[in-house]
A and B are shown apart, each in its own frame.
Chain A
Amino acid sequence: MSEMKPTKLWPIAIQWSAPRTVTAVVIIALLGVLPVIAGALESSYYVSFATRILIYALAAIGLNFILGFGGMVSLGHAMYVMLGAYAVAIPASHGVTSGFAHVALAVAVCIPLAAGLGAVALRTSGIAFIMITLAFAQMLFFGAVSLKDYGGDDGLTVAARSTLGGLDGFGLNLANNATLYYVAFVTVLVALYLSWRAVLSPFGLVLRATKSNARRATALGHPIFRYQLTAYVASAVVCAIAGVLLANLTLFASPAYGAWTLSGELIVIVILGGLGTVFGPVVGAIILLALEEALPMLIEATLPDYKSNWMLLLGLFIFFVALFLKRGVFGSLKR
């Protein structure tokens, strides 16, 4: 019935000179060469730190898909990160080390869980949706605490990073920090590209409409529940994959990964970067994690007596962004 032009690589004509595009391209390029620079400086710490940024960015991209584009404020998305981490740690403790198995397990558990929880939570909206997602996340958190065989609230260490089967032969060994970094980097790029396409697709048009005016979208005849639930599950899967990467980075899985504070941190990242912008979560993750890293050092160097008060400065920064950059740091740039 309807004709679509043959699919192009870029879903829209890119304005290469627009501040947003330039910023995104520069950041991606810098992230792309970061291990090379760090290697030259012989600083493996910064590769690990940047990997952590990428993993948080990935989880935030997942959350942004429903928060920024679908208007669903989930205060429980860290539970999917935790789930992904345990999908590495538990099989690894039984000797299953294949990364493909870890990802498959994370996705296989995540989809039915998110579909079930989402179906319940989406009966509501607004504050009730926030409370229900939070309540489920807390249940899962205490569920993980009660896993006495797998460390309980102490968490579970992972003996070694996931193996990549035959790919190890091609030099892809996650034990190498730079390799893990590039796996996270490529995963982030893929997630960005997929969410970009999805947002501009007919599906995305309805999803964005549910945020803007769900009542109208329904009255036009769109079965919005189906759209919201699909987006919710997709967003959870992205977070679960972030969890798989996180367990590989830290060689650890713990209930703390599912703490509601982490869910809150993901929301801060999304809003800081720019709600409803595809690239915003990457910018938000870089800013938040860099500040969390830099502020304590800065204070220690200048006012050592107040070292433990660095959070105050972070709070001030978030306060000013919320006040003056209502669309977030990346969202405030011209497209």
Chain B
Amino acid sequence: MSALVTHSLVKRFGGVLATDHVSLTVEPGELHAIIGPNGAGKSTLIGQLAGEIACDEGSVHVLGTDVTHMPTHKRAQLGLARTYQVTQLAKEFTALDNVLLAVNARSAHNFRFWGNAHNDATAMKKAATALATVGLSHLHHAEVGMLAHGEQRQLEIAMALATEPKLLLLDEPLAGMSQGESSAIITLLKSLKGRYPMLLVEHDMDAVFALADRVSVLVYGRIIATDTPGRIRENTEVRAAYLGDEV
């Protein structure tokens, strides 16, 4: 069963077709990358998949379940996790509390008013593991607003992982990162590859061609090609529309 299937997805903003009949799939264990110029509608598409933006037409299936009209939090409960292009963290919380919040999102018994959230040993262990996975173990008690940009990006990924996802949507995880920081993230994504089906939206072509099993090219809301990284590189239409002389 495919992890993600969209069928002819449409989103209009006024007269603009931000998502123009997009059909794509993410297969189990696959890393499917979406590239495209600025304003191609990548973030809109992610928003539609996560449920933050309503779909005008078409359908979205996650692990065989029709989620087209499902609210965001229910999609997340199905196992769909996302990261944001612009970090969305609880800035006043510690790094650990951010991840704990993510762990608790999977708990069926989170509606509790009495015990201290920090005394939940199982949840705390899971949170610590997620922080360790992205290499932030040393920053458990750091207030998130004080973290470096790169560390906040790593925390984004840790939170997504802490929800024990069955499908990861990564919206430009390398955005605004230094060379050193992005190579750390690329190594991390490589280590996660195969363990989770992933849909990766990214600008960094080197990263995309190094990581992806398949690449879709999105231009003006429309997918103009979906293929292996090698063939996308050779595709003349793609070159004309987007890659230009970057490749």
Footprint of B on A, CB under 8 Å? 1-5, 7, 11-12, 197-198, 200-206, 208-209, 212-213, 215-224, 226-227, 230
Whether A201 and B100, one on each chain, are in contact in the complex, defined by CB atoms closer than 8 angstroms, is no
Q: List 10 A-B contacts (CB under 8 A).
A: A2-B123, A4-B115, A4-B120, A5-B115, A11-B116, A203-B110, A204-B113, A208-B90, A216-B90, A219-B76
Among residues 93 to 117 in chain B, which have CB atoms less than 8 Å away from a CB atom of chain A? 93, 97, 100-102, 104-117
CA distance A201 to B119 in the complex (A): 9
Q: Is B56 interfacial (CB-CB < 8 Å)?
A: no
Q: Is B159 interfacial (CB-CB < 8 Å)?
A: yes
Closest to B115 in A: A4
CA distance A200 to B159 in the complex (A): 20
Whether A2 and B107, one on each chain, are in contact in the complex, defined by CB atoms closer than 8 angstroms, is yes
Q: How far is the CB of A115 from chain B (nearest CB, A)?
A: 16
Q: How far is the CB of A210 from chain B (nearest CB, A)?
A: 9
CA distance A206 to B82 in the complex (A): 18
Q: Knowing A4-B120, A212-B90, say if A205 contacts B72 (CB, 8 Å).
A: no
Q: Knowing A220-B159, A222-B105, A224-B73, say if A3 contacts B114 (CB, 8 Å).
A: no
Q: Is B77 interfacial (CB-CB < 8 Å)?
A: yes
Whether B91 and A202, one on each chain, are in contact in the complex, defined by CB atoms closer than 8 angstroms, is no
Among B116, B121, B122, contact of A200 (Cβ-Cβ < 8 Å): B116
From B81, B104, B113, B121, residue with most partner A Cβ within 10 Å: B113
A residues in contact with B69, CB < 8 Å: none
Among B109, B121, B163, contact of A221 (Cβ-Cβ < 8 Å): B163
Whether A202 and B107, one on each chain, are in contact in the complex, defined by CB atoms closer than 8 angstroms, is yes
Q: Knowing A4-B120, A205-B97, A219-B52, say if A198 contacts B92 (CB, 8 Å).
A: no
What 0/1 pattern do residues 205 to 230 of B give for CB contact below 8 A with A?
Answer: 00000000000000000000000000
What 0/1 pattern do residues 45 to 74 of B give for CB contact below 8 A with A?
Answer: 000001010000000000000000000111
Q: Knowing A203-B110, A213-B88, say if A208 contacts B163 (CB, 8 Å).
A: no
Whether A220 and B115, one on each chain, are in contact in the complex, defined by CB atoms closer than 8 angstroms, is no
Whether B89 and A197, one on each chain, are in contact in the complex, defined by CB atoms closer than 8 angstroms, is no
Whether B117 and A219, one on each chain, are in contact in the complex, defined by CB atoms closer than 8 angstroms, is no
Q: How far is the CB of A195 from chain B (nearest CB, A)?
A: 10
Whether B109 and A2, one on each chain, are in contact in the complex, defined by CB atoms closer than 8 angstroms, is yes
Q: How far is the CB of B131 from chain A (nearest CB, A)?
A: 15
CA distance A217 to B112 in the complex (A): 17
CA distance A198 to B111 in the complex (A): 11
Given contacts A197-B114, A202-B107, A219-B73, 17 further A-B contacts (CB under 8 A): A4-B119, A5-B119, A5-B121, A7-B114, A200-B117, A202-B110, A202-B111, A203-B111, A203-B112, A208-B92, A213-B91, A217-B90, A218-B73, A219-B84, A220-B101, A220-B163, A221-B106
Whether A221 and B73, one on each chain, are in contact in the complex, defined by CB atoms closer than 8 angstroms, is yes
B residues in contact with A216, CB < 8 Å: 84, 88-90, 159
B residues in contact with A227, CB < 8 Å: 111
Closest to A210 in B: B90
From A204, A209, A215, A227, residue with most partner B Cβ within 10 Å: A209
Per the CB 8 Å criterion, the residue count for chain B at the interface is: 42
Whether B76 and A202, one on each chain, are in contact in the complex, defined by CB atoms closer than 8 angstroms, is no
Q: Is B118 interfacial (CB-CB < 8 Å)?
A: yes
A residues in contact with B52, CB < 8 Å: 215, 219
CA distance A223 to B71 in the complex (A): 9
A residues in contact with B106, CB < 8 Å: 221
Closest to B82 in A: A219
Q: Knowing A3-B122, A4-B115, A202-B117, say if A208 contacts B93 (CB, 8 Å).
A: yes
A residues in contact with B123, CB < 8 Å: 2
Closest to B79 in A: A221
B residues in contact with A4, CB < 8 Å: 115, 119-120
CA distance A230 to B111 in the complex (A): 10
Whether B100 and A205, one on each chain, are in contact in the complex, defined by CB atoms closer than 8 angstroms, is yes
CA distance A12 to B115 in the complex (A): 10
Q: How far is the CB of A8 from chain B (nearest CB, A)?
A: 8
Whether B107 and A219, one on each chain, are in contact in the complex, defined by CB atoms closer than 8 angstroms, is no
Closest to A220 in B: B105
Whether A3 and B120, one on each chain, are in contact in the complex, defined by CB atoms closer than 8 angstroms, is yes
CA distance A216 to B152 in the complex (A): 14
Q: Knowing A1-B107, A209-B93, say if A202 contacts B88 (CB, 8 Å).
A: no
Whether A215 and B121, one on each chain, are in contact in the complex, defined by CB atoms closer than 8 angstroms, is no
Among B72, B120, B159, B163, contact of A202 (Cβ-Cβ < 8 Å): B120
Whether B93 and A201, one on each chain, are in contact in the complex, defined by CB atoms closer than 8 angstroms, is no
Q: How far is the CB of B51 from chain A (nearest CB, A)?
A: 8
Closest to A11 in B: B116
Closest to B83 in A: A219
Whether B90 and A201, one on each chain, are in contact in the complex, defined by CB atoms closer than 8 angstroms, is no
Q: Knowing A203-B112, A206-B110, say if A221 contacts B82 (CB, 8 Å).
A: no
Whether A7 and B115, one on each chain, are in contact in the complex, defined by CB atoms closer than 8 angstroms, is yes
What 0/1 pattern do residues 138 to 170 of B give for CB contact below 8 A with A?
Answer: 000000000000000000000100010000000
A residues in contact with B159, CB < 8 Å: 216, 220
Among A1, A202, A209, A226, contact of B115 (Cβ-Cβ < 8 Å): A202
